[in-house]
A and B are shown apart, each in its own frame.
Chain A
Amino acid sequence: MKKLLIFMLLLQTAVLLSGCYDRKELEEQAYVISIGVDMTESEDVFRFTFEIANPEVGSAVSSPSTQEPVQEVVSVLGTDFLSATSAANVSVAKEISLDQVRVVIVSEKLARSKKFIHLMQTAPSIIDLKLNSQLVISKEKAEEFIRTNKPKLESRPHKYFQYMLDRAKETGVIPEAPLVRFFQITEGDADLFLAPFATTKKDPKEEYGAEDNYKAGEVNIKGGNSTQFIGSAVFKEGQMIDILTGEETRFSLMLDTTLPQQDIIANYTDPLRPGFDLAARVQADKVKVKIDYKPTGKTNIDVYVSMHMNIFAVPSTQNYMINSKNRNILHASLQKQLQEEGEKFIKKTQEKYKLEPFYWSLHIRSKFLTIKDYEKADWANKIYPNANVRLHVKVRSLEFGKLLRESDLRKVRD
C-alpha cells in the first residue's frame, strides 16, 4: 500500500514537472507577422524573410515612447519554414513564433516555378503556422515587398495587413486565399486557385481602366504607401499560370458559392448617354449553380445570379429616378452589361485556362456515386472546357441614393 502511494506520488511529480515543457512566457517570443519566400539560385533553397512585430510600439497608451523601430525584418536561407525559423533565431534574441502569421508572401517568380508546390508542402507540418493565414503573391521579390511596404498610417504591420486584406475583400478586387484553401483546391485537382496579387512597384497604366480593370502596380496613385493589392494570381495544379485583373477577380468571387458575398462598388455605362458612367453598389445574393451532367454530350451549367443594385451617382444627370421608362432602360442595360462581362470572363476561363476558378466542381460531385466515377468523368479536362455555361443575371432591385432627382442642367446653365 505504502509503495503504491509513493509510486503514485512520483507519478504525479512526473506529471507536474513535465507539464511545463511547452510553456513559454509571452514576452519571450518574437511574433512574426508576415513571411516572405523567394527563389534562390540553388535548387532546394529558398530565401525566407520574417517580419517581426515590436510589441512595444503603439500597444500601450501610457508606456514611455520607445525609440525602437516598429518591426524587424530578418531574411535567411532555408529549405523549409521550420529550418528557416531556427536559422533566423541566430540573429533574433527571442524565440520566433509563427502563431500570429497573417500573410505568407510568395514572389511571382517562385509561384510560377515548379518548386512552389514543394515549398507549400512544408507549411502544414509546422503546428505554429495557422492554415488560415493568407497567401499573397507579390510581383517583385517577397523580401523587397516586405522591406518596401511602409504603411503611413498603420504603424503596426499586423494592423496594416488586417485592414488591407479585409477592405480589399469587401470591395472584391482580391480573393480570400487562406493556405488551407490552396491545399483543398490543389488536392481536389479540379479547379483554379486564386491568390491576392500585390506589389510595391508602381508601373502605372496610361489609360484609365475604370476603378477595377487593373492588376497590382498599374493603378495610378500618387502619395501614400506604394503598396497595391489588386487582382489575383491564378494557380493551376499548384503552379501559377496567369494574373487576373481586379474586375475579373470580382466576377470570379461573385460566381463562387463558397466565398461570402460582399457588396461591391463598381462603375457601369450609362445606357442613355454612353459617354458617361454610373456608380453603383452591387450586392449579389448567393449564386445558384445547376449542373445538368450529360456523360456523352455537352454538359449544361446554369448559373443564377441575383443582385440588388444601389445607384449612387449619375454624372450624366439623366432622370432615372422619377421617369419609369428610363428606369426600365437602365435596369435592362445593367443586367445586360453584367451578363455580357460575366459571360466574357467565363468564356476566357473555358478557352484560356480550360478550368474554372469558381469551385464549381463541388456541384458536380454529387452526380457521381463513387469517387472513381467522378475521377473518370474528369471535370477538369473533359466536362468543363466543353460545357455549355449559361449565365442568368437578374437585377432584383434598383435603389437610388439619397438624391431624389438629378439637377436639371438646362436650368442650372441658363
Chain B
Amino acid sequence: MFPWQKKKKTEAVAKQKNTKISRSLKENVAYLEEQYLYGTNFDFNSKELRGSTGRYHLFYYSTIIDTKQLNEHIVTPLLETKRDIPVPRIVTLSSLSSVKNMDEVEKGLSAGCVIIFKEGMSEAFEAKIDDFKHRAVEKPENEKTVKGPKESFTESLPVNISIFRKQIPSKDLIVENISIDSRPTMPVSLVYARDLVNEEILENIKKRIKKITASNIRNIEILEQFLEERPASLFPTMLYTERPDNAGNYIMEGYVAIIMENSSSCLIAPITIWSFFHSPEDRYLRWAFGNFSRLVRAIAYFITLFVSATYVAITNYHSQLIPIDLLLAIASSRERVPLPIVFEILLMEVAFELIREAGIRIPSPLGPTIGIVGALILGQAAVEANIVSPIVVIIVALSGLSSFAAANYSINHTLRISRFLFIFAASMYGLLSLLGAILLWVAYVVSINSFGVSYFSPATPSNRSPRDTFFRMILKKEKWRPGFLNPKDWDKQ
C-alpha cells in the first residue's frame, strides 16, 4: 500500500476490537448475527436452546465441527439438565473454556469451536470440537526412499505435530506458535529441541516471522519466500521436506522446523548447501551403500552442471583435447547439421526442459504421450532430420537424466538454471570463461548466509561437525552435532 493512501478498515472490524460480552443474550445474538452475516453465510449456525433451567444460544460453523460431539456433549446435556448449575459442570468436554470478549469468540469460531451463551451471563464458553477435513497420512511422493519410514506430512497442523511427537517423545521437544500479522492471522509453529537449539538462531527466525506484514500467507511455501534473506537468489536457504523422519533428524541436530496449517511439508532452517545433496536414505542404508549412492549423486551433479558446457567449450575452442577418433566422429556427424554447436546444445536443452515442464503439468491420462513425443521426436527424428547430431542427444539426455538424481526439488532448479549460465559462459572463451564462471558461481555460493549460518559450512568455514558433508562416517563414530549451528549440546555421544 502506498503511504499516502489511508488505511481503511471496515466498520465491523473496528467495532469488534473491544466489544465485551453483554449480559443480555439478545444483544449478543444480534451482534454476532450481524458480524457473521447470519442467513447469507451458509454454514454459520445460530441456534437457540430453551432448557428447563434457562435459555442458551449456540454459535458454530456446521462444516468445521464434529456434529456428533455437539449433539452428545453439548446439546443433550444442556437440554436435559434439571438444576441450574454452571455450564462447565453441564458440558462434559475437556476443551471447554470461558471467553470474555467478542474478539476471543471470533477466534474460537474460526478455529472450530462451539460458542455457548447463557442468558444473564457476561461470559461465554467455547468448546473446541473441530473437525477440519484433511488428507490422511500418506506415502511421500517427492522424496522417495526404498529403505526408511514411509510416512509423510499432511495438510493438518495437529496431525503433523502428532507425527513429530511420535518421532521425538521428549519433554524437550517444543512446538511454539507465533502468529503472523497477516489477514487473517495465521499461526506458524516452530518445532525444536529446547536442549539443543541455538537461541540466537531461534530468535532470528522468530523476529523474521514477526516482521511479516503481508496478507495472505496460508502455507509454508509462501512463508518460505517471505523469510528468505535473498528471495531472488538461485540458491534456496531453507530445506523443504515432506518427510517427518528427515525433519526429526534435523531437529535432533539442533535445527528448527517450521510448520503451518495447510502444508504437507515443513521447512528446516538454517540450512547449508550440503543438506540439499543429502537424502535421508544415506543414513538408513549401511555405511558403504549410503556413501556409494552419495558418490553416484555427486557425479550426477557434476554431469548435470558441466557436461553440456564442457562439450561446447572443448569442441569450439580446444579441439586438440578430443581424442582423434571421437573428433572425427563428431566432425562427420556434424557435417550435415546447420546449427553451430552452442545453438545445437541450447536447442536440445530447451527441448528437454519443455518435456520436463510439460510432464509436470500434463493431466495424468495424457502422460504416456510425453514419453513418446519426447523420445521419438526429440531423439531420433531430430537426428535423422539432421537438426542435431547424435552426440548432442547423448549429452543432453545425460545432463537431463542426472539432474533428476538431485535429492531435493529446490536444488534441482538451481542446477538446471546454473547449467544454462555455464553453457553461455563456455561459448564465449571456451574453458577459460567456463572456469571464470565457475569461480564466480562458487564465490557467490560461499558468500550466502542462511539465518546467520554460512552456506558452505562445515567445509568453509571449517568447524566441528558430524563429518557428514561429502561422505558420511560410520554412525558410531559421529561425535559432534553440527558446530556451525552452535547447539547447546555439541556432544552427540
Chain A residues engaging chain B, CB cutoff 8 angstroms: 15-16, 19-20, 22-27, 29, 31, 33, 53, 55-56, 59-60, 63, 97, 99-100, 102, 128, 130, 156, 158-159
- Known pairs A26-B319, A27-B337. 19 more at Cβ < 8 A? A19-B428, A19-B429, A20-B428, A22-B317, A23-B430, A24-B316, A29-B331, A31-B331, A59-B325, A59-B329, A59-B332, A60-B332, A60-B390, A63-B332, A99-B319, A100-B320, A130-B320, A156-B328, A158-B324
Most chain B CB atoms below 10 A, which of A20, A25, A26: A26
Residues of B within 8 A of A60 (CB): 329, 332-333, 390
Residues of A within 8 A of B335 (CB): 27, 55-56
A55→B331 contact, CB < 8 A: yes
- Closest Cβ of chain A to B140, distance in Å, is 43
A26→B327 contact, CB < 8 A: yes
Residues of B within 8 A of A33 (CB): 324
Q: Please, which residue of chain A has its CB at the minimum distance from the CB of B329?
A: A59
B328→A55 contact, CB < 8 A: yes
B residues 32-84 in Cβ contact with A at 8 Å: none
Q: Please, which residue of chain B has its CB at the minimum distance from the CB of A128?
A: B320
Residues of B within 8 A of A53 (CB): 324, 328
Bitwise, B321-359 to A at CB < 8 A (1) or not (0) is: 000110111111111010011000000000000000000
- Is B486's beta carbon under 8 Å from chain A? no
How would you classify the secondary structure of chain A's contact residues: helix, strand, loop or mixed? loop
- Closest Cβ of chain A to B379, distance in Å, is 14
State the interface size on chain B (CB cutoff 8 A).
Answer: 25
Residues of A within 8 A of B340 (CB): 25
- Closest Cβ of chain B to A86, distance in Å, is 19
- Is B16's beta carbon under 8 Å from chain A? no
Contacts known (A59-B328, A156-B328); A23 close to B317, Cβ less than 8 A: yes
Contacts known (A55-B329, A59-B329); A25 close to B341, Cβ less than 8 A: yes
Bitwise, B397-431 to A at CB < 8 A (1) or not (0) is: 00000000000000000000000000000011110
CA distance A59 to B334 in the complex (A): 12
Residues of B within 8 A of A128 (CB): 320
B331→A27 contact, CB < 8 A: yes
CA distance A31 to B327 in the complex (A): 9
- Interchain residue pairs A-B with the least CB separation, the first 4: A19-B428, A99-B320, A55-B332, A55-B328
CA distance A97 to B319 in the complex (A): 10
Residues of B within 8 A of A26 (CB): 315, 319, 327, 330-331, 334, 341
Q: Please, which residue of chain A has its CB at the minimum distance from the CB of B323?
A: A100
Contacts known (A24-B316, A97-B319); A16 close to B331, Cβ less than 8 A: no
Q: Which of A16, A22, A31 contacts B324 (CB 8 A)?
A: A31
CA distance A24 to B430 in the complex (A): 11
- Is B433's beta carbon under 8 Å from chain A? yes
Q: Please, which residue of chain B has its CB at the minimum distance from the CB of A56?
A: B332
Residues of B within 8 A of A29 (CB): 319, 331
Residues of A within 8 A of B320 (CB): 99-100, 128, 130
Bitwise, B358-376 to A at CB < 8 A (1) or not (0) is: 0000000000000000000
Residues of A within 8 A of B337 (CB): 27
Residues of B within 8 A of A156 (CB): 328
Q: Please, which residue of chain A has its CB at the minimum distance from the CB of B328?
A: A55
Residues of B within 8 A of A55 (CB): 327-329, 331-332, 335
- A selection of 19 A-B contacts at a CB cut-off of 8 Å is A15-B428, A20-B428, A24-B316, A24-B319, A25-B340, A25-B341, A26-B331, A27-B335, A31-B328, A53-B324, A59-B332, A60-B329, A60-B333, A63-B332, A63-B333, A100-B320, A100-B324, A156-B328, A158-B324
CA distance A191 to B317 in the complex (A): 38
A25→B316 contact, CB < 8 A: yes
CA distance A56 to B327 in the complex (A): 11
CA distance A56 to B328 in the complex (A): 7
Residues of A within 8 A of B329 (CB): 55, 59-60
Q: Please, which residue of chain A has its CB at the minimum distance from the CB of B326?
A: A59
CA distance A23 to B433 in the complex (A): 13
